[in-house]
Structure 1
Amino acid sequence: MIACGQFYLLLLRQDGTVFALGDNEFGQLTGNSESSYDTVVNTGLNYIKIIACGSWHSLALTNTNQIYSWGYNKYGQLGQGDTNNRINTPSLVSFPDVSINSPIKNIVGGRWHSLFLLEDGLIFWCGYGQGTIDDNNQDVKIPTKLPIENVLSVACYYHLNFSLVMDQSLHYYVWGEVRGETLLSPQKLDDKPKSFAAASAMVAESSITYGITSTIYVYESHNWLSFIGLFDNPDNYDVEFIIGDKRILASKCYLKMSLKYFSRMFSGEWMENTKVFIKDYSYDSYYTYLRMLHTGHIRIKQSNIVELIDLANCYDDERLMKHCRTFIRSNLNEHTLSIYLPLIIKYELNDMHDKLVELTIENILPKTANDLRENKENITQFLVWFSEKKSL
């Protein structure tokens, strides 16, 4: 994983070690060393699973649910309760009330602010005027909860003073400095953009997306520059995939090389067929899949995961199935359980067992216990059910 800041970057190795490279004016590389543009600097952080950069400040999330911050801190973006820069070593970020009740899902850095998204859909912020305190626009020096819930994903960028989130209904919200105005609380965007890139283009001062996108998983396959010309090219195709009133153009020869399913499809009686009618999948999902076969890139979202995992299963595409598993594991929580549990059961995703156990013990059972304490009728019904199960 690589995170980019202003004139520097962080690099996360697979073993959880964090390295840095570039400008070190504010200690964003850690240590008292000078800027390093040729040799990576070991930050001393280990067991890290997510890294993020603001303009000149750095963030890291450990696999034990702890956040470290270091670098520039003029606006309190490090969440340390003050405005002192941290130039020597990363410092542990403390949340209000000592602890939080949910694992941390993601961390992101804006120009002079930081955002922390929890698995339960709550989101905290600190730094330059990203919200309100006592009805006033203020910088916040410790992580403070934002007035929005059921958040699935969050995005901001080291060069921007606004932030974006997407909730469970796939609605996008923005707050911060937008087109010369300051939005003190999240405002829902109209027209329901399809990605963070589209949302940022709606609110930025120009059409530049600044690299803000939805999560994109990349397959390390072939060189996409060699094959993109074979995809949906009206000057170079020999088969049409017809979906409703739309069509996708492709090369049978290339598809046969890409996947055994297409090799079987375009053989025998189908060898001379030039049109394939697709009835079980939407145009957008099928287009996304075929494009992945040509580019090695795919964008999986909650809105297309059901169709994509079914495609992976029906077409026996192990690469796509592996990626769908990764997406589900990353986004599985008590709020999305109703969406992903049927998929886990249907496609026998047995590697999700540990995640389901963790979710049940840490989130579902405590709430179930509270419900039982508050309602005597519920406890009676539960014990009857338990007794019947035990007697089987």
Structure 2
Amino acid sequence: MCVFCSRSLLNIVFAENKIEFLSKKTMKKIPTDIWVDIELFQNNFNKINGQFIRNIVSIFKISHRYGQISFLFMKNDATYAYGKGICNLLSFQHYPKYPIRIDILNKKKIIQVESGEGFVVVLTDDGLVYLASDDSRWKTNYTLRLISTGNDRFEMIACGHYHLLLLRQDGTVFAFGYNKYGQLTNSLSSYDTVVNTGLKNVKIIACGANHSLALTNTNHIYSWGWNDNGQLGLGDTNYRRTPSLLSFPGGSIQSPIKNVAAGARHSLFLLEDGQIFGCGYGQYSINDNNDQNAMVPTKISIENVQSVACMNYTMKNNLDFSLALDQSSHYYAWGIVKNEKLLSPKTLGGRPKSFAAASALIMGSPITFGLTPTIHAFESNDTISFIGLLNNPDNYDIEFVIDDKRILASKCHLKMSSKYYSRMFSGEWQENNNRVVIDAYSYEVYYSYLRKLHTGHIRINQSNIVELIDLANCYGDEQLFKHCRTFIRSNLNEHTLSTYLPLIVKYELNDMHGKLVELTIENILPKITNDLCENKENIIKFLLWFFEQ
């Protein structure tokens, strides 16, 4: 193997004249939004240089006490802080035009970010957890503190108001911080060392304001901590200082549990079959139109739910609400919204395209539910939407099956919208065959493509570009292929080159050659030169590889 640039940002290894691309660990937490339109936040950072914004890969919005707003921006090579609140936590000077690079996170891939009252926590893909705070009890000294338990590595984090849960890669749960209500499980608060909760074999964790939740690999839910509103789902309002097994009314549920989420004073449980249950503040029985908080898991009146989100902190306007997205791309809100009680879920108008956009309809400005990828949106000139024909259980004659998920559609519309589907559903196609299994693409990508055929709108980011351009090429969709080519050209730089170079070669994107030459001369060659100067033993390997070409 010939490695000619061992520390290059490209992470390219040359082996037998082939390029191998190094893979990274992905986030275990189920993402609430698979993307967010960064233009939602334009009022928050309209003074920042446009080129910088276009290079943002993911974003996390931080709501501080006293109404301050801050952001963490992730680019391919670095993490940046923006806003007075986060800059104060890190001893930075805030500049309205310039996000500040966080040097300690250089070259680290961030897979999760969470925040509580006065602190922010970051999880990297190598399992390290960093914490920043202006609370002296956390002992951060206004910088990022590495939270360490020897050689332990973590795969998920969750933040309450004043406490933190950490899920180790072996399924063990640890807790950290404030413990007045038993949210750490022991009798004392702990800011020096993490506390072993005794829970093992856990796959998902969540924090409310002062309560904690854990879902095990055996489909069991444990809850502990604050319980004034019945948010622990145990049938009473007593605090718990040890994890307690939660039960669903009427015995065991039939479906596996897909996800758990925690609001400030309530808890949500999403099942694989699309049912959703809630308990605590603002969670009301499906069969009882009163405002009594449910103290056991109670079914919420929405079906075919794909994802849920809720705020785990309260604000001056008493925003203690929940959001859900169903299979037909409708968003719902319920709970306490600006001091108004929504006893049953209300469909949000305006057709929001993300939880962040849905939250803006309620709050007036968007929030992020965890670290969220940003996207570039492309639209056709046709503004007519036929979204009602997609995933409509009352009007479909074809279903696409991807893993264990279904997408329902109309053959007639697909034939009119796509030459590929016109060929598929004509000729030798058997009319009694109304089921197509898709194994070449992920559910998210295939759904976004079918949605494009119904709305003329598609969103492209670095995580879906590889699949989308392949789909565009295979399906002969010239418009989508053009959008993908435009996206690659606008985002091609030294940090994205390892992702986009194989696509440029495979799909013969020859119009990129000029930019490739520019990148090579200005960015790649100087880095190779510096690396060879620092690692002189690599010069022979490099020259041998060079002359072999």
Structure 1 length as normaliser, TM-score? Answer: 0.58
Report 1:236-251 matches (<5 A).
242-243=482-483, 249-251=490-492
Q: CA deviation at 1:156?
A: 0.6
User: How well do the aligned residues superpose, as a CA RMSD in angstroms?
Assistant: 2.9
> Of Structure 1 and Structure 2, which has the larger fraction of its residues in helix?
1
Q: Does 1:201 align with 2:442?
A: no
Deviations 1:101-150 (A, max 9, x none): 10000000101111101001001111112224632111111111111110
Identify if the C-alpha distance between structure 1 residues 67 and 259 changes in structure 2 by more than 3 Å, giving closer, same or farther: same
Q: CA deviation at 1:98?
A: 1.1
Partner of residue 276, structure 2: 123
Q: Which amino acid aligns with 1:9?
A: L
Q: Does 1:167 align with 2:326?
A: yes
C-alpha separation between the residues in 2 aligned to 1:267 and 1:187? Answer: 48
Find the residue that maps to 1:163 and give its secondary structure: strand
Q: Contact 2:504–2:512 at 8 Å: present in 1 too?
A: no
Find the residue that maps to 1:60 and give its secondary structure: strand
Match of 1:67 among 221, 224, 243: 221
Q: Which amino acid aligns with 1:178?
A: V
Partner of residue 84, structure 1: 238
C-alpha separation between the residues in 1 aligned to 2:322 and 2:352? Answer: 15
Identify if the C-alpha distance between structure 1 residues 99 and 264 changes in structure 2 by more than 3 Å, giving closer, same or farther: same
C-alpha separation between the residues in 2 aligned to 1:45 and 1:254? Answer: 40
Identify if the C-alpha distance between structure 1 residues 252 and 13 changes in structure 2 by more than 3 Å, giving closer, same or farther: closer
Q: Which amino acid aligns with 2:251?
A: V
Structure 2 length as normaliser, TM-score? Answer: 0.42
Identify if the C-alpha distance between structure 1 residues 254 and 92 changes in structure 2 by more than 3 Å, giving closer, same or farther: closer
Match of 2:177 among 6, 9, 22: 22
Deviations 1:177-231 (A, max 9, x none): 1123111111111122121111112112x4151x3259769xxxxxxxxxx9xxx
Partner of residue 328, structure 1: none
Q: Which amino acid aligns with 1:163?
A: S
- Gap regions ≥5 residues in structure 1: 218-227, 229-240, 276-392
Q: Contact 1:195–1:213 at 8 Å: present in 2 too?
A: no
Q: CA deviation at 1:250?
A: 3.8
**Which shows bigger deviation, 62-71 or 156-165?**
156-165
Q: CA deviation at 1:14?
A: 1.0
Find the residue that maps to 2:231 and give its secondary structure: coil
Partner of residue 302, structure 2: 148
Q: Which amino acid aligns with 2:194?
A: V
User: Alignment length, in residue pairs?
Assistant: 249
Q: Contact 2:504–2:510 at 8 Å: present in 1 too?
A: no
Q: Does 1:4 align with 2:162?
A: no
Percentage of identical aligned residues: 56
Q: Which amino acid aligns with 1:249?
A: S
Find the residue that maps to 1:25 and give its secondary structure: coil
C-alpha separation between the residues in 2 aligned to 1:16 and 1:119? Answer: 21
Match of 1:212 among 369, 384, 405: 369
Deviations 1:212-268 (A, max 9, x none): 259769xxxxxxxxxx9xxxxxxxxxxxx9539977624466554444414636999
Q: Which amino acid aligns with 2:502?
A: Y
Partner of residue 413, structure 2: none
Q: Contact 1:197–1:213 at 8 Å: present in 2 too?
A: no
Partner of residue 267, structure 2: 114
Deviations 1:291-346 (A, max 9, x none): xxxxxxxxxxxxxxxxxxxxxxxxxxxxxxxxxxxxxxxxxxxxxxxxxxxxxxxx
Find the residue that maps to 1:243 and give its secondary structure: helix
Q: Contact 2:233–2:297 at 8 Å: present in 1 too?
A: yes
Q: Contact 1:123–1:145 at 8 Å: present in 2 too?
A: yes
Q: Contact 1:197–1:214 at 8 Å: present in 2 too?
A: no
Identify if the C-alpha distance between structure 1 residues 42 and 273 changes in structure 2 by more than 3 Å, giving closer, same or farther: same
Report 1:1-392 matches (<5 A).
1-32=156-187, 34-87=188-241, 89-132=242-285, 134-160=288-314, 161-204=320-363, 206-209=364-367, 211-212=368-369, 242-243=482-483, 249-251=490-492, 255-262=496-503, 264=505, 272=513
Q: Contact 2:282–2:321 at 8 Å: present in 1 too?
A: no
Q: Contact 1:173–1:187 at 8 Å: present in 2 too?
A: yes
Partner of residue 334, structure 1: none
Q: Contact 2:492–2:500 at 8 Å: present in 1 too?
A: no
- Gap regions ≥5 residues in structure 2: 1-155, 315-319, 375-461, 463-480, 517-549
Find the residue that maps to 1:198 and give its secondary structure: helix
